[in-house]
Every structure is written in C-alpha cells, then in structure tokens.
Chains A and B, each alone.
Chain A
Amino acid sequence: MADVVFKSVSKIYRGGVVGCRDIDLRINDKEFCVLVGPSGCGKSTTLRTIAGLEEVTSGELWIGDSMVNEMPPKDRDIAMVFQNYALYPHMKVRDNMAFGLKLRKYPKKEIEHRVREASEILGITNLLERRPKQLSGGQRQRVALGRAIVRKPKVFLFDEPLSNLDAKLRVQMRVEIKRLHARLRTTMVYVTHDQVEAMTMGDRIVVMQDGVIKQVDEPVRLYDNPRCRFVAGFMGSPAMNFFDCSVSRKKNEDDILLEGDGFSISLSGIEFSHLTSYRGRKVTLGIRPEDIIDRLYSQVTASENLVRAQVITEEPMGSENYIHATVGEKNRLVMKTSGSNRVNMGDDLELVFKPGKLHFFEIKSGERIV
C-alpha cells in the first residue's frame, strides 16, 4: 500500500554535485527503515526526494501506487520531522500541530480530536497553549512528532530528528519513536548518522556512502555480515579493527597462514576455504572489539594464534572496559572486555581473535571476501 520504491533514482545537483546515484530500494509498507551513513553520504538527499523537497534527476520514485517524481510535497501524503524541528515560531503548539490539517480543510472537530489524540500519545497535552520558544529541546521534538502524527500520513520521514538532543533524551526518544511505530503501524523512513540509532530502531538499515547504497539488511545481519569494509567499519562502536595481512599456506598443511605486522594466525577448516584463492596476496582482516579475548581472562588455553599487544590506554565504562593497544609496529586495536578487567599502560597482553568472527575484505575494493 504505502511502500516506497526507488527505481534507479539519481539526484545530481547543478554543478554536477552528486546527491545520490542509482538508488534501487523498496521500503515495505509498515516498515521502519533507517538510512545511515556519514555526513554527505546522500541519505538526507534520498529522504528529501521522498518528501518531494528534492527533484529526482532520473529514475522513478513510487509511493504506494503513484509515481511521484513530479508530485509536489503536499500531495504526497507524507509527513516529515526535521532535525531543527522546524516548528513555526509564531504559532502555539496547538496551531503548529493543526496547521497541516487546517490547510487541508479538515472539519474543526476532527482537527481538535486529532490534536488531542496525538498530544496524549506524546504526553504534551499541557503544552498546547505554549509557543515553541517556551519549550525545551525534548518538548519541541515531541511537538514536531505530534505535528507529523496528526496528519496520519502514508509515510513518516525523519531527518536526524534526535541529533540536537542530549544523550539521555536521545535514548528516551529512541524508544518512544519505536513505540510510536509499533502503535501507528505506518511506513517510517528515518535518517541518521548514528549507527546506534540505526541498529536499535531500524527494521532494516540502508547504509550509504558517497551517494550510493552500500548495503541493505536487517540490523543484526548487517552487523554480522557487512558486505564491505565501509559498512563493517561504520556499524558498531567501538569500530571494527582492521589489519592488512598476507595470506599463505602453512608449511606442509592445508591450513592458511595470515601474517601481518606483529601477528600471525593460522586458520584451518572449511569455512576459510574461500581464502585459498587469495594465497600469496594481501587481504584486510577485520575483527570486532568484542571478538578479541584476553587469554588471562578466558577459558581459552590454546597457545598458538596468540596475538601479542601492548596497552596504550583504557576506557573503563563501568560494565565494560575498552582497551586500546598496539600490535607490532603500526597496528592498533581496540578490544572490549568486562568492566572488571583493568589494565595499566604498557602491560603486555596475549590476545586471541575468535576464529569464527573474522571478516575478510579485499584491500582495493573493500568488498567482503566470500
């Protein structure tokens, strides 16, 4: 019904600046879809093409059953929440929320009802008579949400709605928006540069870079199976560790030997067979911080495949502790351990990379080696 479909949509600004290119994407009805990527990656542009705030240069954009390339924003039956809330400063909260309905000539009673309903959902009934200036950031955000809700649009668009809030509020609002989605059961497209938001909120995540979609997938699959080095590095905090290493066959064995600056790991088993063809070449090895284990604090007793590292510093977070360390001359890594695992600068560590959690990428293209 209200799915959003991109058929090789491109947006090229005047002067040749690429907004987004060749976007092929289907956002399903009632889906919560998150567009994520670093700033300038084209996620906002993509969102704005849905809103009709950017014209599509080529390709087709469908909302529901209609091709909307030429349709003005007001006819697309969408609502948008802006990063800066974009509340009309000269109107009371009530009027801000009712504005879109008034313009569409809804009966007064209906407007009244919808505003009340939305404000109850968001818990802002006591703010209706205030002006935006008199509200806190979180309250403004709620009003902006309310303004979108009352319209009961086919698609909700969110353009980094939480980035102006402080950390605590952000977490709270995250939950609330998610709840809202559960309640309203409407298609939502959400843009953010924060991968945590993306992971926690999205039914599906679209990772973008330089105007191009890198990967579309459900959060966990995205996390576990990043399709390229960029996605792997972008999702997750602290970010995945990457090491360049050369691939060779271990003497007299079928095992594969990875050698990098300051470490060497031998891998055996069928799951690494895909590396065989890379023998004699270099690849990028990726390992997430939580997949690195300190030998002292684990049951692992193996004495091989140990990676020796030296602590630079630690970031104790209470429940967990991030340890920054060097491996060899130039390689650096971050590992995540439990909060009780405290270290001192200069400590030598013996680490183990969980074999099943290794990711391999081509050096040049950054593509995942499958």
Chain B
Amino acid sequence: MAKKSQEYILERKVKKTVIYLILIGGMIITLTPFFWSISTSLKPRAGIFSMPPEWVPSEPTLEHYGRLFDEVDFLRHFINSTVVAVAVTLLGLFLNSLAGYAFAKFRFPGRDRLFSILVLSLMVPGQVTMMPVFMILRSLGLINTYTGLIITGTISVFGIFLIRQFVLTIPNDLIEAARIDGCGEFAIYWKVILPLCKPVLATLGIFTFMSSWNSFLWPLIVMVREEMYTLPVALANLSGQHATDYGLLMAGAVVVVIPVILVFLAAQKYIIEGISTTGLKG
C-alpha cells in the first residue's frame, strides 16, 4: 500500500515536471520572436548580419533607438498613436456601453431587428467599405485629422454586442432601485450600470486600444501628412523596397509593441474576468 502511494506521488511529480517543461518550452518558442527583435535592435549595425547569429548582443548599443527619434521623429508618431488610441478607447467605451445598455435593458420598437442587423454587419469585411468611407470622410473634411480617425474607429458592433451580453446579467432590481432612489435615466447608466460594467469595460477597452494602436491600413489612408502618421505606418515606412535597415526596423517594432504590452499587463486581471463573465466563452 505504502509502495503504491509512493509510486503514485512519483508519477504525479513526473507528470507535473513534464507539463511544466512543455509549457515553458512552448513559451520560449512563442516569445522567441520578441526576444530576437529586442536582441537585434540592440546590436550595432555591423553585428546584425553575423553568422551564426548572436543571441545576446556582445556590444549592446542604443544607437538604433536614438536614430529612431532623431531621423524619423518617432516621438511625434507616438503622440499621434496615443491621442487616437486613447480617444477612441474612451469615447468608444462611453458610446458603445450606452448603446449596449439600451439594447439590453430597454424595450423599444425595432430593438431586436436592429440588433440583428448590427450583428450581421460584423461579417462584412472591413476593406469592402474603405473607399466609400474615405469619400465620406473627405466630404466631411476630416481627411488628415485626428477626428477622422477617431470617429471611424469609435463605434464597434462587437463592443456593443459585448456590453449588451454583460448588461443582460445585471439584475433589473438594481435599475429599479435606482429609479426609485431618484436617478434620471442617464444617471442610472452613469452611476449604476457603468461602474458595474468595469470588467467588461476593461476587456473591451484593451481590445479597442489594441486594435486602434495596431491598425495600419486605415490610418495610412486617412492620414495624408507624414507628421500625422501613427506608429505602425511610420514603422512600415522603415522598410525599403529592396534593402532594409533591420536594426532600425527592430527598434521601431519594439517601440511600437511595448506600450500595448504594458497596457495589457496592467489590465490582465480584468480581461480574464471580462471574458469569463460576458458569455464570450459561448
């Protein structure tokens, strides 16, 4: 009996070790590209093409980062990206949650049909509408403005959907209690619903921020002047047609990616919570 249980414990230990090894191994593979880009961005120009490749640069240098801000004015692009992504996220959270709440907790003629049309539009590939949207922006005089980029990125059907799913789980009692307590309809949304939606807002917020921060094609089209380019566009500009400055490019990639990673790490807890409470899991 004792022997049996010892064997059992040993087996458990072996299993645990194996799974840890697999997980860590997988993670190394997953993170290699990140490591490699950071490593390359720190190598002096001469060392980049060395064979066999250097994993850790023997003479690390920050020259590429310096050039990034001297030659390309990455700071300006960084500001552009930040302004757009922050505005899109905050405005988007506000307006999408307003609509999502209404779709979840009010009854009004046409609600369900309208909502089904929204959901159907999720399946239209975005590129189909690029040219018409551009024309509309142009007629509104919003080409090459932050506003143009913000207004087209703010409302997301997915966001409305997500918020609606979450708000459905909020008991009606709370809303009724607030009405009796003397809240106006907007105050109910602002003082009761919004604070309760924190997890889903965090999830949606980070996804909105990420997709705004990361988007490339649309900002490229909308922003005519280089000084209005967002980071990914500026980054794409660093690659040449035939030859490419990899050190600079990798440094650029690192600069573009780091803020999103930081935002993600900060909000990680909420994201998980949000995903598990919104019925996103199916």
Are A and B direct contacts in the complex by CB distance below 8 Å? yes
Choice from A52, A72, A83, A99 contacting B181 with Cβ under 8 Å: A99
A242-263 interface with B by 8 A CB criterion? none
B173 x A82 contact (CB < 8 A): yes
B280 near A: Cβ within 8 Å?
A: no
B183 near A: Cβ within 8 Å?
A: yes
Q: B residues within 8 A CB of A100?
A: 180-182
Closest to B170 in A: A89
A84 x B173 contact (CB < 8 A): yes
B180 x A80 contact (CB < 8 A): yes
Minimum CB–CB distance from A83 to chain B (whole Å) comes to: 8
B9 near A: Cβ within 8 Å?
A: no
Q: B residues within 8 A CB of A80?
A: 176-177, 180
Minimum CB–CB distance from B194 to chain A (whole Å) comes to: 9
Q: A residues within 8 A CB of B179?
A: 52-53, 72-74
Bound state CA distance, A72 and B173, in angstroms? 16
Chain B positions 157 through 196: 1 when the CB is less than 8 Å from some CB of chain A, otherwise 0: 0000000000000010110111111111001000010011
Bound state CA distance, A151 and B182, in angstroms? 11
Closest to B173 in A: A86
Chain B positions 132 through 143: 1 when the CB is less than 8 Å from some CB of chain A, otherwise 0: 000000000000
Report, as a range, how many residues of chain B touch the other chain: 10 to 19
B183 x A103 contact (CB < 8 A): yes
Closest to B194 in A: A90
A104 near B: Cβ within 8 Å?
A: yes
Q: A residues within 8 A CB of B178?
A: 88, 99
Closest to B195 in A: A90
Minimum CB–CB distance from B108 to chain A (whole Å) comes to: 13
Chain A positions 47 through 91: 1 when the CB is less than 8 Å from some CB of chain B, otherwise 0: 000011100000000000000000011100011101111101110
Minimum CB–CB distance from B6 to chain A (whole Å) comes to: 44
B176 x A53 contact (CB < 8 A): yes
Chain A positions 96 through 138: 1 when the CB is less than 8 Å from some CB of chain B, otherwise 0: 0001100110000000000000000000000000000000000
Minimum CB–CB distance from B131 to chain A (whole Å) comes to: 44
Bound state CA distance, A342 and B57, in angstroms? 92
Minimum CB–CB distance from B167 to chain A (whole Å) comes to: 14
B181 x A103 contact (CB < 8 A): yes
Bound state CA distance, A287 and B180, in angstroms? 44
Minimum CB–CB distance from A28 to chain B (whole Å) comes to: 22
Which of B182, B187, B198 neighbours the largest number of chain A CB atoms within 10 Å of its CB? B182
Bound state CA distance, A90 and B171, in angstroms? 14
Q: A residues within 8 A CB of B192?
A: 88
Bound state CA distance, A100 and B183, in angstroms? 8
Closest to B175 in A: A86
B180 x A74 contact (CB < 8 A): yes
Q: A residues within 8 A CB of B171?
A: 84, 86
Bound state CA distance, A72 and B192, in angstroms? 18
A74 x B181 contact (CB < 8 A): yes
Choice from A79, A86, A104 contacting B174 with Cβ under 8 Å: A86
A74 x B182 contact (CB < 8 A): yes
Bound state CA distance, A116 and B72, in angstroms? 63
Q: A residues within 8 A CB of B182?
A: 74, 100, 103-104
Which of B177, B179, B182, B184 neighbours the largest number of chain A CB atoms within 10 Å of its CB? B177
Q: B residues within 8 A CB of A52?
A: 179-180
Q: A residues within 8 A CB of B176?
A: 51, 53, 73, 80, 82, 86
B177 x A82 contact (CB < 8 A): yes
Closest to A78 in B: B180
Minimum CB–CB distance from B245 to chain A (whole Å) comes to: 51
Closest to B171 in A: A84
B56-87 interface with A by 8 A CB criterion? none
Bound state CA distance, A13 and B196, in angstroms? 29
Minimum CB–CB distance from B115 to chain A (whole Å) comes to: 19
Q: A74-B180, A80-B180 are in contact. Are A103 and B173 (CB under 8 A)?
A: no
Choice from A73, A84, A88, A90 contacting B180 with Cβ under 8 Å: A73
Bound state CA distance, A103 and B183, in angstroms? 7
Minimum CB–CB distance from B173 to chain A (whole Å) comes to: 4
Bound state CA distance, A152 and B173, in angstroms? 21
B174 x A103 contact (CB < 8 A): no
Q: B residues within 8 A CB of A151?
A: 181
A79 x B187 contact (CB < 8 A): no
Minimum CB–CB distance from A23 to chain B (whole Å) comes to: 20
Bound state CA distance, A53 and B192, in angstroms? 17
Q: A residues within 8 A CB of B195?
A: 88, 90
Minimum CB–CB distance from B55 to chain A (whole Å) comes to: 48
Choice from B177, B183, B198 contacting A86 with Cβ under 8 Å: B177
B185-224 interface with A by 8 A CB criterion? 187, 192, 195-196, 198
B183 x A79 contact (CB < 8 A): no
Closest to A99 in B: B181
Closest to B192 in A: A88
Q: B residues within 8 A CB of A82?
A: 173, 176-177
Bound state CA distance, A319 and B195, in angstroms? 52
Bound state CA distance, A74 and B177, in angstroms? 10
Minimum CB–CB distance from B139 to chain A (whole Å) comes to: 42
A79 x B180 contact (CB < 8 A): yes
**Could you list which residues of chain B lie within 8 angstroms of chain A, going by C-beta atoms?**
171, 173-174, 176-184, 187, 192, 195-196, 198
Chain A to chain B contacts (Cβ below 8 Å), 13 pairs: A51-B176, A53-B180, A73-B176, A74-B179, A74-B180, A74-B183, A79-B180, A82-B173, A85-B173, A86-B173, A86-B177, A103-B187, A104-B182
| Known A80-B180, A103-B183; 6 more pairs at CB < 8 Å | A51-B180, A52-B179, A52-B180, A53-B176, A78-B180, A103-B182
The 8 A-B pairs of least Cβ separation, nearest first, read A86-B173, A100-B181, A86-B177, A103-B182, A90-B195, A74-B182, A82-B173, A73-B179
